Amino acid sequence: MTRGQKAAIILVRLLIVVILCLVSGYAGYLRGQGDGYRSGVIAGAGSGYNLRDPTYHEVKQFLAQDRTDANQYVEGEYVCSDFAADVNSNAEAQGLRCALVEIKYPEGSGHAVVAFQTLDKGLVFVEPQYDEEVTIELGRSYAELNDYKKPSFDDTVMRYLVIW
């Protein structure tokens, strides 16, 4: 065997070793990326959100045990949006999907309630200050629709936004 043939064989063997190293390194990279992603998701965010749409009965049960409605309304400190945010957080902590609902009245004022997309009765709006089911209808007074005392301002529903 000539010197050139020996060099060619060594070069081919070296090339095979380099290719094997690259392939095994890439396979390790892929495996490590998947393992790292899974462990990072669990460490950083737990298993993720596990929210579900409740039945109407489950909404009623949740509202009966939730104590947010016992909080005091304090103008400028704890208002309708705080009640809605607390009910929303409490529902989601129990695995129930709950929406914040922003209601807009004329002249820039508004109100906040929550909603549940129930499996058996569809979208249900709830007044979180009283745990009462309410109706929201465009162009109608929120107070009149729900048999509440008429406020000193115009509470005609101009628009509402359901935020999941």
Q: Are 25 and 88 in a shared domain?
A: no
Q: Using 50, 70 and 90 to split pLDDT, how confident is the model at 13?
A: confident
Q: State yes or no: pLDDT of 152 exceeds 90.
A: yes
Judged by DSSP in three states, 74 sits in strand
Query: Mean pLDDT over all residues of the chain?
Result: 90
Q: What pLDDT score was predicted for residue 25?
A: 72
Question: How many CB atoms sit inside 10 A of residue 4's CB?
Answer: 8
Q: Are 36 and 73 in a shared domain?
A: no
Q: Are 44 and 60 in a shared domain?
A: no
Q: What is the mean pLDDT of residues 110-131?
A: 98
Q: Are 76 and 41 in a shared domain?
A: no
Q: Using 50, 70 and 90 to split pLDDT, how confident is the model at 121?
A: very high
Q: Report the number of distinct structural domains present in the chain.
A: 2
Q: Are 110 and 129 in a shared domain?
A: yes
Q: Are 21 and 71 in a shared domain?
A: no
Q: Are 62 and 23 in a shared domain?
A: no
Q: Are 31 and 68 in a shared domain?
A: no
Tens of pLDDT, residues 38-88: 666 666 555 556 899 999 999 999 999 999 999 999 999 999 999 999 999
> What's 86's domain CATH number?
3.30.460.70
Judged by DSSP in three states, 61 sits in helix
Expressed as residue numbers, the domain containing 157 is 56-163
Q: What pLDDT score was predicted for residue 30?
A: 67
Q: Are 33 and 75 in a shared domain?
A: no
Q: Are 60 and 43 in a shared domain?
A: no
Burial of 42 (0-12, 13-18, 19+ CB in 10 A): exposed
Q: Using 50, 70 and 90 to split pLDDT, how confident is the model at 4?
A: confident
The four Cα atoms 91, 93, 96, 98 give a dihedral, to 10 degrees, of 50
pTM beyond cutoff 0.85: no
